[in-house]
Amino acid sequence: MPDHLSARSFLGVFRFSARALELVWSTNRALTVALALLTLAAGLLPAGIAFLGAQIVDAVVAAHAALAADGGASLRWVFTWVALEGGLVAALAGAQRGLSLCQSLLRAQLGQRINVMILDKALTLELAHFEDSEFYDKLTRARREASSRPLSLVMRTFGLAQHAVSLISYGTLLLRFSPWAVLVLLLAGLPAFLAETKFSGDAFRLFRWRSPQTRMQMYLETVLAREDHAKEVQLYGLGALLLERYRGIFDTLYRADRDLTIRRDSWGFGLGLIGTATLYAAYAWVAVTTVAGRITLGQMTMYLMLFRQGQAAVSAILAAIGGMYEDNLYLSTLYEYLETPVAARGGRAQHGPDPADGIRFEQVGFTYPGASAPALDDINLHIRPGQSLALVGRNGSGKTTLIKLLARLYMPERGRILLDGLDLRAWDERTLRERIGVIFQDFARYQMRVGENVGAGDVRHFEDEARWRKAADKGLATAFIDTLPGGFHTQLGKWFHDGRELSGGQWQKIALARAFMRARADILVLDEPTAAMDAEAEAAIFEHFRRLTGGRIAILISHRFSTVRMADQIIVIQDGRIVERGSHTQLMGRDGHYAHLFSLQAQGYR
């Protein structure tokens, strides 16, 4: 846990209470008001009941004395007080039931609201955030714990108010017995409270400390129990090994939890005993006073009850404060996540000064966060509209990174990238995204209908069947889609009933179709789009790709030189730098890296 949290003053940690209340209030005002009123009622009624209890005993004693003195007794008062107390008890039960009803309703609404807030925020984040493990921890913590905390905090605040009202009313009645009694009542619970606060802080630190392990646990659950991993887990017999690791993590976490729970409960019990001892000392005091005849039997019953309930109220108040402290700590993770600064999303430009200029990289360099060496260094290139560019290079040479920079998923660290003569940073994000259609190697396979998987390429036409078909034609996907039982409406993926699985090449055709959904995109980027396709399909795709590119820019990453050679311009990247460039013929003439790689592959085909 960072120092700034541990060093905060005790009161400072209550800083989220007002925000939690605001959150609950804005989620449902009527329920919040009902909750407040019921809390007040539930706070006041117990003192009333104790007071009536004393009246009953005294009325009984008086009636009994009257009976002994003159043989006649009126039970009118006894019955009145009994009936009144019965009424108050019923009202208290109603108030408590109402409280729990309001709580359940609010809990559901608030949980949903906070989850939406968390997901909404996730939409504004940059790719780099998701790749940063520390940040990912924040997200996991927020999702796991924080959604129930605001209501809990508010309930505890209300609970605190309720018990405080009770305590004040008990105190008022007890004052008639002795002001010291009130003081004893208040002080008896303090030690238990201090212990509770300390352990709440410890529990939170534990929770924070073990975030990475909890994340690993969740990940192992996914690997062990999800269909997309099942194949490998079975073939390689990974199951037992991973389960063992899963158990190991649990054991470590459990040990820490157990130790804390044992310490928390032992201290709680020991310090709680002080409270009990105080309570019984007070009982003896009240009994002695009654025997001495200074208070009536009815008053004795009332004071005993006030002590007992008063002590329960003090404990409840202290526990509520301890709980609030804990809720506040957890909420701090939610707000830490929600307030993660997000860089401004570029400018507002919809056009560049020179549409005929296309794409330019000027001395672009980029290093991934946390990496020691740059993934790209001093990249210069220029592609005009109507031209195609192929990127070749070994695994890890930086090809995909270059595309990510072009798509503005990351910002270059050095140099700049221009589109139509304007720095990418100045472009309006939506306009930019509309102009670029990218399919990455690891494109998403949505467990949705086939058509929606294509439609995902253009949210405005997500449901447009005519466009699905057109795009699928271009991606050469129509032929196999038509053989599926529901055509474009076939559900994909095993998470759902009747979901179909596709072959690797079929998925790639879907992904290509998705890229072609962007009818308005004039920059089309395919990162190894055809690796899983058969040779015939690949040849057809590229023929199509070339015909389609009139006035557009096509960028292609491929390890297949038969397709690479078709590009107007070929760039060879090595360790993040451009080492060769030119057309196929030029590069073959140069007899360098490209020619070497090309002939290696050509030999394989001979």
Ligand X SMILES: Nc1ncnc2c1ncn2[C@@H]1O[C@H](COP(=O)(O)OP(=O)(O)OP(=O)(O)O)[C@@H](O)[C@H]1O
C-alpha of 129 from chain center: 13
Query: Which of 46, 171, 189, 398 forms a contact with ligand X (CB under 6 A)?
Result: 398
- Give me the least distance between CB of 393 and ligand X, in Å please: 5
- What is residue 73's three-state secondary structure? coil
- Give me the least distance between CB of 483 and ligand X, in Å please: 31
- Written as six digits, the tokens of 164 are 């405080």
Tell me if 35 sits within 8 A of 99, measured CB to CB: yes
Q: Which one of the spans 32-40, 198-206, 388-396, 583-591 is the region binding ligand X (CB under 6 A)? A: 388-396
- Give me the least distance between CB of 573 and ligand X, in Å please: 7
Residue 401 binds ligand X (CB under 6 A):
yes
Residue 603 binds ligand X (CB under 6 A):
no
Beta bridge pairs of residue 360: 382, 418
Considering only residues 440-459, where is the footprint of ligand X by CB under 6 A? 441
Give the residue ranges of DSSP H helices in 386-456.
Answer: 399-406, 429-435, 450-455
**Which CA distances in Å does 355 have to 179, 383, 418, 448?**
86, 12, 11, 37
Using CB under 6 A, count the residues that bind ligand X.
Answer: 13
Residue 482 binds ligand X (CB under 6 A):
no
Q: Which one of the spans 26-34, 47-55, 321-329, 367-375 is the region binding ligand X (CB under 6 A)? A: 367-375
- Say if residue 72 is exposed, middle or buried (CB neighbours under 10 Å; 0-12, 13-18, 19+): exposed
Residue 372 binds ligand X (CB under 6 A):
no
Query: Which of 372, 395, 585, 603 forms a contact with ligand X (CB under 6 A)?
Result: 395
Residue 508 binds ligand X (CB under 6 A):
no
- Say if residue 276 is exposed, middle or buried (CB neighbours under 10 Å; 0-12, 13-18, 19+): exposed
Closer to ligand X by CB, 131 or 227: give it. 131
- Give me the least distance between CB of 575 and ligand X, in Å please: 9
- Give backbone dihedrals phi and psi of 9, rounded to 5 degrees, phi first: -65, 155
Q: Which residue has the tokens 């007002």?
A: 18
Closer to ligand X by CB, 174 or 570: give it. 570
Q: Which amino acid is at 409?
A: L
Q: Which one of the spans 4-12, 333-341, 368-376, 586-594 is the region binding ligand X (CB under 6 A)? A: 368-376
Residue 129 binds ligand X (CB under 6 A):
no
Neighbours of 75 (CB within 10 A): 12
Beta bridge pairs of residue 491: 449
Closer to ligand X by CB, 395 or 603: give it. 395
Residue 131 binds ligand X (CB under 6 A):
yes
- Give me the least distance between CB of 603 and ligand X, in Å please: 21
- Give me the least distance between CB of 373 and ligand X, in Å please: 8
Query: Which of 399, 467, 469, 474 forms a contact with ligand X (CB under 6 A)?
Result: 399
Residue 400 binds ligand X (CB under 6 A):
yes
Please give the angle made by the CA atoms of 279, 282 and 286, to the nearest 5 degrees.
140
Q: Which one of the spans 159-167, 336-344, 394-402, 448-456 is the region binding ligand X (CB under 6 A)? A: 394-402
Q: Which amino acid is at 401?
A: T
Q: In what order do the strands lie in the sheet with 376-383?
A: 376-383, 359-366, 414-419, 422-423
- Give me the least distance between CB of 200 and ligand X, in Å please: 37
Closer to ligand X by CB, 406 or 432: give it. 406
Closer to ligand X by CB, 9 or 395: give it. 395
Report the DSSP pairing between strands 422-423 and 577-582.
unpaired
Q: In what order do the strands lie in the sheet with 388-393?
A: 436-439, 523-527, 553-557, 388-393, 569-574, 577-582
Query: Which of 165, 375, 517, 571 forms a contact with ligand X (CB under 6 A)?
Result: 375
Tell me if 409 sits within 8 A of 402, measured CB to CB: no
Closer to ligand X by CB, 328 or 397: give it. 397
Residue 371 binds ligand X (CB under 6 A):
yes
Closer to ligand X by CB, 387 or 441: give it. 441
> 557: which DSSP letter?
E
Contacting residues toward ligand X, per CB under 6 A: 131, 368, 371, 375, 393, 395-401, 441
